[in-house]
Amino acid sequence: MINNINIVDVETGKTAYNQFVLIESSRITRIDSVPFKPIDNSLRIDGTGKYLIPGLWDMHTHSNQHSEWLHHPLYIANGVTGVRDMSGQLNEKDSYWVGSKERLQWNKELENNTRVSPRYVLQSSYQMDGEKAIPENSPNFFKLQNRLQVDSLLQFYKNEKVDFIKIYAQLPKDIYLDLAKKAPIYGLHIAGHKPMFLSLEEAVDSGQRSFEHGRIFLYECFPEADSLKKTNNWKDYFSRSKKKMVKQFDSVRAKELMVVMRNNKTYWVPTLQTLKFEALAHKDSFTNNENLKYITKIRKKLWWQYDVDHNKEKNIENEGVNVSEQFYEASKKQVAMAHKLGVPIMAGTDVTDSYVFAGFSLHNELYELTSCGLSNVEALQSATIVPAIFSNVEKDYGTIEIGKKADLVLLDKNPLDDIKNTKSIKGVLLNGVYYDQGKISELKKFSEGAASSFHMNVKTLVSLINSPLIRVQFAD
Ligand SMILES: [Zn+2]
């Protein structure tokens, strides 16, 4: 029982004060404005002066074989009770990436209260990027070299209980269109990046349900956008002048595309944290982050430091004009435009990219979304009810209502007054189980200890070296 709590309604933006909430096993069974007789042996939580919000969802993450030590405790400690994981596997268990098998097992154990894990909503395939991203000895159909292989791929992932095919930049146009057309026949959808060989409008029209990252309109709405689609060189595609994209941005075209997205109910997950990193990598005030203690030395040395140095150099050599910062600011303006025009926005962070921290960064993303012009309640929606609707599970998640799952966050302060108040976490309910302050600091300590342990660092290194998927992804 949670007594005398203030419930934040993320749909209306109103607060219902001094409420009494009953949770039985994993669901909310009663909400009342007057106290009711306590059930014997029930855990009674005093909610006086506190605020209750639905568990937050991070709609763009990448988990791996070490997430149960390094990420899951931090998600829960931060009130992130659901994630949409954007990675996957091929036919074999990968030493580094996880697939639907691991994630569905974690979900089952969470449901039995034998594991501390966020809910993994919507299972992803491995990223489909044409033949280059597939290790040589994998079954041929993963390479998607012709349309006959599309059915084999869809059948394979249907059997793996995957929900969507993750699209990547280099997928050939005819294959992409065929995949988009046939996916629904197998009960799947497509989501992810926009392939570089076709326009955003074509991709939206083909039924892709979500587009990831802040750059999508910048790459699409400038005079040379069409010539980008003719490239067959990935590096060329991404090294095109960001300066030009910002300077010559065609906001009329962007608005047209946003309207098409709204009309098709296409979602956008801008993952602003990644662009923010690129923009601010040269600043010590940004890179000196207290959460670095949750990151393994191996990741910091092999991956993050390389990213910092590379972006630092770029930002400094641009003679006072930080193009990455302009790019970041421009994409924020586009989030504001898209939101105004009715494109559904979802909060996502891109954990484990550089300087993105499991759990912690979602709160920063919510703040960033408000700085783009979303109201506090709209930012909350982007991590609660909007993702629940996107995932087709609004019957069980997304708001605080009788019958829904008890994934809830208790806050000291009202996030409707200031979105930063989502960080004032007093307690977390996951599948009806309560984590108080003591448990929350245990969770954080656990991940901190794992990240600094020799054992975990060796394990991470070995799993990276042995992963054929990592080898092809970092080949170029
Ligand atoms: Zn990602």
Q: Tell me: the pLDDT tens digits for 331-346?
A: 999 999 999 999 999 9
| Among candidate residues 476, 272, 267, 266, the one with its CA nearest the CA of residue 355 | 272
**How many Å lie between the centroid of ligand 1 and the Cα of residue 361?**
14
Report whether pLDDT(151) > 90: yes
Q: What is the mean pLDDT of residues 265-283?
A: 97
Q: What is the average pLDDT score of the chain?
A: 95
Write down the pLDDT at residue 30.
97
Its pTM surpasses 0.85: yes
**How many Å lie between the centroid of ligand 1 and the Cα of residue 285?**
25
Q: What is the pLDDT of residues 283-307, one digit of tens each?
A: 999 999 999 999 999 999 999 999 9
**How many Å lie between the centroid of ligand 1 and the Cα of residue 193?**
9
What is the rounded distance in angstroms from the CA atom of residue 313 to the CA atom of residue 142? 37
Write down the pLDDT at residue 321.
78
**Dihedral (CA of 316, 317, 320, 322) sign:** negative
**How many Å lie between the centroid of ligand 1 and the Cα of residue 195?**
14
**How many Å lie between the centroid of ligand 1 and the Cα of residue 104?**
20
Q: What is the mean pLDDT of residues 386-400?
A: 98
What is the rounded distance in angstroms from the CA atom of residue 67 to the CA atom of residue 441? 18
**How many Å lie between the centroid of ligand 1 and the Cα of residue 356?**
11
The answer to whether the beta carbons of residues 394 and 388 sit under 8 Å apart is yes
Write down the pLDDT at residue 476.
55
**How many Å lie between the centroid of ligand 1 and the Cα of residue 348?**
9
User: Hey, what CATH class is 56-291+303-393 in?
Assistant: alpha beta
**How many Å lie between the centroid of ligand 1 and the Cα of residue 297?**
21
The percent helix, strand, coil of the chain (3-state, each to 5) is 45, 15, 40
Write down the pLDDT at residue 229.
84
What is the rounded distance in angstroms from the CA atom of residue 15 to the CA atom of residue 415? 10
State the pLDDT confidence band at 133, using cuts at 50, 70 and 90: confident
**How many Å lie between the centroid of ligand 1 and the Cα of residue 48?**
39
